[in-house]
Amino acid sequence: MILIDKENIDFGMILSQHALSKTSFRKILIEFFYRSKHSLSVEEIISNISHPVDKVSVYRALNAFEKNGLIHKVPDKANLIRYALCPSECSSSKHLHNHAHLLCSNCNETYCINDFKIPIVNECKGFVINNLKIILEGSCIDCQQSYS
């Protein structure tokens, strides 16, 4: 886990570093990703963000964030579109991840495990690899606590 000082992040600068326009909604959206422990679905974003916004703008912002290497799509049990923050080395040109994902079978949240890397396979029967997936399923800390 990379420890970042979450209080002093310049979210506008993060957007400019990824060649994204700095609207107030986009700043709030990227901050929401930074403060969330798990990945976010479009529904979670719309119901939790304190900024009046329509679904189209949310989708448009998420697509732009994904294209420019700020967030990536993660697996989801319910097949919802769900995104998580990218490692800081991602950009629009380098955006292939080999980290694994944790899926909570109870609350359906998805978590990135950035220190669990899938080994890079060089020879794979001539396949060109463009997506790597390892999914670990279980029960997240929040769900374990609510059982006890």
Report how far residue 80's alpha carbon sits from residue 78's, in angstroms, rounded to the nearest whole number.
5
Can you tell me which of 27, 67, 106, 132 binds Zn ion, judged by CB under 5 A?
106
Neighbours of 74 (CB within 10 A): 24
Q: Does 143 bind Zn ion (CB under 5 A)?
A: yes
Site string for Zn ion, 5-44 (x = CB under 5 A): ----------------------------------------
Nearest approach in angstroms of CB 80 to Zn ion is: 15
Question: 142: Cβ–Cβ under 8 A, 6 or more apart, which residues?
Answer: 107
- DSSP alpha helix (H) spans, 74-123: none
Q: Which bin fits 59, alpha (ψ -120 to 50), beta or left (φ > 0)?
A: alpha
Count of residues that interact with Zn ion, criterion CB under 5 A: 12
Q: Does 102 bind Zn ion (CB under 5 A)?
A: no
Write out the H or E segment, with its range, that includes residue 43: helix 42-48
- C-alpha 125, offset from chain centre: 30
Which of 15-23, 55-63, 116-124, 140-148 is the region at the interface with Zn ion (rule: CB under 5 A)? 140-148
Can you tell me which of 15, 61, 62, 104 binds Zn ion, judged by CB under 5 A?
104
| Interacting positions 71-100 with Zn ion (CB under 5 A) | 72, 74, 84, 86, 90, 95
Contact yes or no for 82/41 (Cβ under 8 A):
yes
Which of 18-26, 45-53, 102-110, 119-127 is the region at the interface with Zn ion (rule: CB under 5 A)? 102-110
Binding residues for Zn ion, rule: CB under 5 A, are 72, 74, 84, 86, 90, 95, 104, 106-107, 112, 140, 143
